Structure 1
Amino acid sequence: MAIRILLVDDHPLVRDGLRARLEAMPQFEVVGEAGSAGEALEAARAHQPDLVLMDINMRGVNGIEATARFREQFPDMAVLVLSMHDKLEYVSQAIQAGARGYVLKDSPGKDIVVAIETVMSGGIYYSAALARQLAKPQNQDNQLTLREQEVLRHIANGESNKQIARQLDLSVRTVETHRLNIKRKLGIEGQAELIKFAVQHAPLGNVDL
């Protein structure tokens, strides 16, 4: 069964391009379009899409606030942000608002396909350029310490706080503190999101501590 998609962007030409690209693939069906948050919510009620492809820059209510409204009114409907903005603050705000991923508009065309399929499979997707920024923040205040990188690697291996504490000879409380610091620095909200990020971006191998 095709993935039903709602396009939300205040530029008709952008929507036309997206529709043409997506409808060329049998696994996707564009069931509606909207140019504002209000139109998007109405279209969602009318068409019940599986996924909403959401721009950030829109007149009136922006895409981040619109995403939050979708999470409240349609909690089972996935929202994937497609934006020209590559600042991590936008990414963090979008994910906290309920988006399942963030794709840059200047990404290769295949990225949007991979992003939709990843999100609909239960994952979280970031464009490669954003993933690199998230994994290695440029701001020194946000940079993960070596110990935090090591904890992230163990999280990626599916280990519990107790297992990580035993492996690194730390207290469970210290491991919990590292987890909180990692989430704060990367703009990650929940434990499930942290695990998914760790699996996708954790440093490989042992870190020399």
Structure 2
Amino acid sequence: MREQQMLDAAVRTFGRRGYMAASMDEIAELAGVSKPLVYLYLNSKEDLFTACIRREADALTRAVRAGVRPDLPADRRLWDGLLAFFAHTGEHPDAWSVLHLQARTHGEPFAAEVAAMRTEIVAFVTGLVVVAAREAHSDPDLPEDEVAGLAEALVGAAESLAAWANATPGVTARQAAATLMNFAWAGLGDLMRGNRWTPPPEAPQGRGEPRA
């Protein structure tokens, strides 16, 4: 109980002030405990920050997974997953700041902790998309690498949109999810029906195209 109280205070402080500016004195005061007690439970500022990243990464991945019902159609599963993601990041903006901004900009091992979370989410989204694609193509053997890039792009867009939504007053989780769904699903729907966009042929070098 007391450790969670300290982690709550640390997430709030790291999320609002940044890792470098946050102090153990400030975190202890916000948690209502002594600084020696914080060190007793969590050893160092680095260990405290790592504990915050792990707790919040786990909470986010569990929220996204819990939001998706596997018995629903593909578009509804993706919608529910996006809605769960934006609802969680919107309700916990300090935690999202820790995961999306602070942990990524202060080197290893913090960035590796977030990368592991992101890999798990991308794998989950890949599963959602590949099942839908296999159903649309009536091809149960469609390989995951056919849609893995789409999942990667979708997660990247969701991360950027969550940061924007949290910084923009009045944007709700439903609005953010609908924005990304409208952007992504039309393209995914066409792709699943076999309607692919084809890039123009490469122009010969020296005819207006930049060299690689």
Query: Over alpha carbons, which structure has the higher Rg?
Result: 2
TM-score > 0.5, shorter chain as reference: no
Please give the TM-score of this superposition, normalised by the length of structure 2: 0.26
Q: Select the structure that is richer in helix.
A: 2
Quick one: higher RCO (CA 8 Å, sep 6+), 1 or 2?
2
Please give the TM-score of this superposition, normalised by the length of structure 1: 0.26
